[in-house]
Amino acid sequence: MDASLNLVRPPSSHQPRLPAPAYEGAQWLSARLPTYSAPWMSSPRPRYLWLVRGGHDSAAASIATYAAGKPFVVHTRPLFFLCDVHADADALVASLVASGGVRKCGRDVHAFELTAAGRRGAFVVGGDCFDKGPSTLRLLRALRHLIDLGADVSLLAGNHDVRTYLGLLHIGSQSARSAHLFVRMGKKTVPLLREVHDAYPRHESASAVSEAEMERRLFPSEDWFQSFDESAREYLSSAAIAKEKRRIAEKVGEFKQACVDHGLSFRAAHNAAQRARALFCEPDGEFSWVFSRMSLAQRWGSALLVHAGVDDVTARGLREGGIERLNSQFRHLLHADPFALYHGPLGNMFRTKYREHEPALTEAGVRSLHAAGIYAIIHGHKNLQRGQRVMLREGMLNFECDCSVDSGTRDLEQLPGAGAAVTIVRPDGLVMGISADCAHAKVFDLAKYFVTVTAASQELATNGPRGRGATGVRHPPKNEVAMHDDHVTTTSAGQPEPTTDKLKFRSKLGRHEVASYLHAVAAGIENGSLSFHRDAETVVLEPDDELSLEVKANSKSDKSKIEFELTWRSRDRAARSLEISSANVTPPEAESEPSDD
């Protein structure tokens, strides 16, 4: 069981916002995309029978309890998150069309162009472009076409991507920590070698390199099986070391057999591997951009984007140094110590499935994430069969987005039809999960559960206001979230007297969380664009409005109270205000930091 749930149906006091999915050029796709939207928590099955092969969502009441009083920062630009496309260009393009950011205009895989939404938004490919599917090179060329169109594209490291890069990079290595990395890719990499062999033919000289020398370059020597124990002891248990050596020995035989199955002589496979190394690892290689653009994780407001997940160590790293420090460490270890990267805490971010033998995410790690202003993780890696899933893991909201889109996985899982999926985070606080395996687009309204602010910088929640432009703060309606002491009132004095809309909320937060929220509001003030929403009502700050700020503070015994009221007025619009009341603030010296244990 992924989480214990209170079987309480959450109250609802307003009509859900359900934008219809919009596709351009879907007639050119094989994948069948949903044509209408429904709330994410709705299901044709009973709402709380969610443990059907682990596929149902965490119940809304549990999410409401988790989110109560937490400020969630959303970016001003739409985010299109795609992941685990696994060498399937058709699945990639269908997913791009599903995002609304791309218009398909012909049958060819490159026959697509950006829409207005695609030019505004950001595309994040959340890892695993390699293995399983029909053609890695075709996928990467389609992805390159998207970049060449001018799209803002980020690539995150997946376990298959890192394994491929390290295997190619360390061909010929004799180091105990890296001599096995090529064959560790296993038989799954042979289709890529076959592609390279066919696309970049070269004359095979029988006398150029002996077969013994080729084996020495591609496979670890007998000495490696003796020296590996000592070199790996820092990161692996004795049982894990024994298992790794056993699997490497098996993979040597599997690789040779896969070459036979794909019509490659061993010499042809060796030459293709050398050519692939030049294509992907050399600075002037045709596909060197894939790994030069790749990062470990990305911050998108209060959401962490990553391939697999986090543990307590990486959560603490996010709290102490932010996302850029982790990405810097990733880039360093990728070349300096790939074994430490793959088997250490950073590797856990693209490998974990939260199994018992893997480093854990505990309450301490969740507190670290919250202190960093992170309240949700958007990731792939764990493949699903009925579209995206929302769940709580150790008290952290997760959007699981690996929807088994590539043809290889679909054949293995016996899923009908072609795959496509995208997870969209919109500036208005709606998260949409679109998948070819779900009849409707799933809509998760962050503002139904969180106090939300839309701001321009994805790093805003930890590093303060940066960038240009910020819009939007939303607040859950009264009674919609249990355990949340809040209210919204609207009064009208009639014309010509101005009307005043007041939004008020009260939350108990840690120091870092309060700072994250205030940073987001401050960014909007600094850039002259801020709006507060409650259902259909909107309170907007324009660049030429006159602002005033009132701060009240008092202290009694061990409790303090600070109130902020921001008011702005223009000649042709009514007065508007936002009041933030932080009651029962713990004195700084008594506030506890997340545990490092």
Q: What tens digit of pLDDT does each residue of 76-89 get?
A: 899 999 999 999 99
pLDDT of 12 over the 50 cut = no
Higher pLDDT, 151 or 527: 151
For residue 477, the model assigns a pLDDT of: 36
For residue 71, the model assigns a pLDDT of: 82
For residue 51, the model assigns a pLDDT of: 34
pLDDT of 516 over the 50 cut = yes
For residue 264, the model assigns a pLDDT of: 94
Sign of CA dihedral 407, 408, 411, 413: negative
pLDDT, average across residues 557-564:
74
As a residue count, the chain comes to 597
Specify the range with the lowest mean pLDDT, choosing from 26-30, 35-39, 344-348, 462-466: 462-466
pLDDT in tens, 421-477: 999 999 888 999 999 999 999 999 998 888 777 776 544 333 333 333 333 333 333
Q: What is the CA 518 to chain-centroid distance, rounded?
A: 24
pLDDT, average across residues 274-286:
96
What confidence tier does 481 reach under pLDDT thresholds 50, 70, 90? very low
pLDDT, average across residues 287-313:
96
* Burial (CB count within 10 angstroms: exposed 0-12, middle 13-18, buried 19+), residue 466: middle
Specify the range with the lowest mean pLDDT, choosing from 109-113, 335-339, 547-551: 547-551
Q: Which range, 43-57, 139-153, 574-588, is most confident?
A: 139-153
What confidence tier does 567 reach under pLDDT thresholds 50, 70, 90? confident
pLDDT, average across residues 67-71:
83
SS3 247: helix
Residues of the chain with CATH 3.60.21.10: 26-47+78-157+296-449
> CA 338 → CA 177, 279, 329, 501, distances in Å?
8, 20, 11, 56
* Burial (CB count within 10 angstroms: exposed 0-12, middle 13-18, buried 19+), residue 336: exposed
What confidence tier does 530 reach under pLDDT thresholds 50, 70, 90? low
* Nearest-angstrom CA–CA distance, 332 and 341: 9
Q: Which range, 358-362, 451-455, 456-460, 576-580, is most confident?
A: 358-362
For residue 556, the model assigns a pLDDT of: 75
* Nearest-angstrom CA–CA distance, 345 and 329: 11
Q: What is the share, in percent, of the chain residues with pLDDT greater than 70?
A: 76
What confidence tier does 356 reach under pLDDT thresholds 50, 70, 90? confident
Q: Maximum CA pair distance of the chain?
A: 95
Sign of CA dihedral 181, 185, 187, 189: negative
pLDDT of 25 over the 80 cut = yes
Specify the range with the lowest mean pLDDT, choosing from 2-6, 101-105, 379-383: 2-6
For residue 400, the model assigns a pLDDT of: 96
Q: Say if CB 343 and CB 373 are below 8 A apart.
A: no
Specify the range with the lowest mean pLDDT, choosing from 5-19, 190-204, 220-234: 5-19
What confidence tier does 408 reach under pLDDT thresholds 50, 70, 90? very high
Q: Say if CB 73 and CB 461 are below 8 A apart.
A: yes
For residue 448, the model assigns a pLDDT of: 85
For residue 546, the model assigns a pLDDT of: 77
pLDDT, average across residues 97-113:
97
pLDDT in tens, 117-138: 999 999 999 999 999 999 999 9
Residues 6+ apart with CB under 8 A from 53: 385
* Nearest-angstrom CA–CA distance, 210 and 208: 7
* Nearest-angstrom CA–CA distance, 94 and 32: 9
Q: Say if CB 112 and CB 93 are below 8 A apart.
A: yes
For residue 453, the model assigns a pLDDT of: 76
pLDDT, average across residues 333-347:
94
Query: Given the structure tokens 């992924």, which residue do they identify?
Result: 2
pLDDT, average across residues 255-259:
95
Neighbours of 405 (CB within 10 A): 31
Higher pLDDT, 353 or 145: 145
Asked: is 26-47+78-157+296-449 a CATH 3.60.21.10 domain? The reply is yes
Strand pairing report for 537-541 and 451-455: unpaired
* Nearest-angstrom CA–CA distance, 423 and 81: 5
Please name which of 458, 435, 335, 450 lies closest in space to residue 385, comparing C-alpha atoms: 435
For residue 283, the model assigns a pLDDT of: 95
What confidence tier does 211 reach under pLDDT thresholds 50, 70, 90? confident
For residue 128, the model assigns a pLDDT of: 97
Model's pTM, two decimal places? 0.81
